[in-house]
Amino acid sequence: MRWAPLLAASLFFVGFARPVDLVPLALATAVTYGIALRLASLPAWSTAARRRWLLLGTVALVGGLAAAKYLNFLEEMVSQAAALFGARLSLQPVHLLLPLGISFYTFRLLGYLLDVYHRRVEAERHAGYFGLFAAFFPQVSAGPIERARDFLPRLKSPERFDIDRLASGATQVAWGLFKKAVIANRLAVFVDQVFAAPPGQGLNLVVAAWLYAVQIYCDFSGYTDIAIGLSRLLGYQSAPNFDAPYASRSVAEFWTRWHMSLSFWFRDYLFLPLSYAATRRERRDTFLGLRVETLAYVQATAVTMVLCGLWHGASWSFVTWGALHALYLIGGQLSRRVRRRVARRTGLASRPSLHRALQVVVTFNLVSFAWIFFRAPTLAKALEYLHYMQIKPSATGMGHMIVGVGLVAAFLLAEWICRRAAPFRPLPLPVRAGLLAATACAIVLFGVDAGNEFIYVRF
């Protein structure tokens, strides 16, 4: 019966600030639950009927998300298109409050519906279990986007009380809070100041882009640590959502380490189907000098990453961020042979440590450059930021910058030590309890209350 109090807690969590947020969650859950049962009842040979039900569910889920997030963006595009033909449309913006977690639970439910359609999972008949899958409070507002095949079986397997799991979960929650309150919030003091007024900032603009990359990592991975730690306290082992993404040697590798649940969702439900469809459509081995498989990769990557950017928000800056990552991925795929040849001729291939370090540095800078478009409120603001960016010292905010750089260095060292030592030297429970208490004290003493929410909650 543990699903009942957890479902009640989850509904309370979603509706605490705005009870109306429960309405879109309930509608999306009910529609997905009913259509999944209908799909399961239809025989495999009734392809047309099953496709119609899948289309109905997809339109309902995606339509609800589009109405909540993109209505004003669509109105803006219609007005701009009309202006090209000399017409003026005065469309009034619709002021809607974004329902809590709608982007995340929509993808959870849509992935479940597609899995049921393809018979990867059986349709869940227990309404309480399914409702908890959609609304599980540690994950509903900002992920991770768990799959039904991973989450639902855990609800049906009894878990016994385990003090080690309790300590592990509490430690991860504390570490996530530390990353958010002490590191991300403190970096935000400098980053927000620089992004608010780019003119005259000089070198600060370069450093702020680097520090924002660390800020958003600590902010979002901190939230993920809290969500996974809380899940572990309740007896559920969630999949990891981050794996040292800034140690990646390429942008393609970065996307296997950053926001992994979203990356793998886009890979499985969008990128791979688009790639297969493009490959089947072409009957030639090559087209425009490219192999069909490469051309399919280019097409699927472009669509996937632009939609990934749009998923984050209805803004051209997000679309540009996604398009930049598409260019990185496509460029990396097309230049593999050239880069290998350059590595051999310059001697980097025989010095793997140096080669790896250069790849990490280049990847981090590419990702940090794209983060500028992600952080800027509009595309015009991002371009203004780039316009004033230069390698020229500035005394503005120097104290906050020095503190931020030192904090980042200490954090990266601590995370490196934890990744290397934790698997091989499990600490006794009293020592872990002491470290947990010390972390709590550090949060109280050094945390910054900047009044800023978790970055990904707004999506």
Cα dist. 250→156, 292, 332, 333 in Å?
40, 23, 8, 10
Q: How far apart are CA 358 and CA 309, in angstroms?
A: 27
Grouping H, G, I as helix, E, B as strand and the rest as coil, residue 290 is strand
Q: Helix 352-375 crosses helix 379-388 at what angle (to 10 degrees)?
A: 130
Grouping H, G, I as helix, E, B as strand and the rest as coil, residue 347 is coil
Q: What number of residues does the chain have?
A: 459
Q: Which residues pair with 286 in a beta bridge?
A: 291
Query: DSSP secondary-structure letter at 259?
Result: S
Q: Phi/psi zone of residue 202: left (φ > 0), alpha (ψ -120 to 50 degrees), beta?
A: left
Placement of tokens 């370069």 in the chain = 206
CA nearest to 136, candidates 125, 122, 123, 150: 150
CA nearest to 62, candidates 131, 12, 111: 111
**Residue 34 CB neighbours (<10 A):** 13
Catalytic residue among 126, 259, 312, 400: 312
Q: Which residues pair with 290 in a beta bridge?
A: 287
Told to judge if 387 belongs to the known catalytic residues of this protein, a careful annotator would answer no
Contact 136, 151 (CB under 8 A): yes
Name the residues annotated as catalytic: 312
